[in-house]
Amino acid sequence: MIPVNQKTAKLTAFFVSQAEIKTTTQFGFEIQLSRIYTRAVFADFRETHYRSTAFRSEQSADNPTKYLVRHYNQSDDFDWARHEFQVVADVTNGIYECECKLWTHTGQ
């Protein structure tokens, strides 16, 4: 058995960190982010993206820039799953707001 010295360990870590990250979808933004984000930041993005698929949105009949967002499984597992949130997505004026304030608090 050949002992692994520190130099070999560093080279191995370098090549592993340079290896392409497997994406879960073929969305262009996910592929792009997997190339420019660090592994840790991309893992956070991937988890947030996965959790976001648990929600559905319905456009307001009164205002086409407002949406009502609900969790698919309105369980007691976490508070946000039991609530509905109004989201404003006004592309023309560049206004994006959600009454849950997740983006304001975490940037996600």
Q: List beta partners, residue 68.
A: 58, 86
Distance CA(57)–CA(85), nearest Å, equals 9
Least confident of 43-47, 71-75, 90-94: 71-75
Number of domains in the chain: 2
What are the DSSP calls for 27-96, one per residue? -HHHHHHHHHS-HHHHHHHHHHHHHHTTEEEEE-SS-TTEEEEEESS--SSSGGGG-EEEEEEETTTTEE
Q: Over 90: is that where the pLDDT of 100 sits?
A: no
Q: Are residues 34 and 64 in the same domain?
A: no
Q: Decide if 16 is inside a domain.
A: no
pLDDT at 67: 94
Q: Are residues 44 and 61 in the same domain?
A: no
Q: Are residues 69 and 91 in the same domain?
A: yes
Q: Pick the last residue of a domain from 32, 53, 74.
A: 53
| Selected residue with higher pLDDT from 87 and 71 | 87
Q: Are residues 61 and 81 in the same domain?
A: yes
Q: Are residues 96 and 66 in the same domain?
A: yes
pLDDT at 84: 83
Least confident of 12-16, 30-34, 64-68, 78-82: 12-16
Q: Are residues 37 and 71 in the same domain?
A: no
Q: Decide if 33 is inside a domain.
A: yes
State whether residue 15 is helix, strand or coil.
Answer: helix
State the residue range of the domain holding 93. 55-108
Q: Are residues 87 and 62 in the same domain?
A: yes
pLDDT at 97: 87
Look up the pTM and report it: 0.51
Average pLDDT, the chain: 77
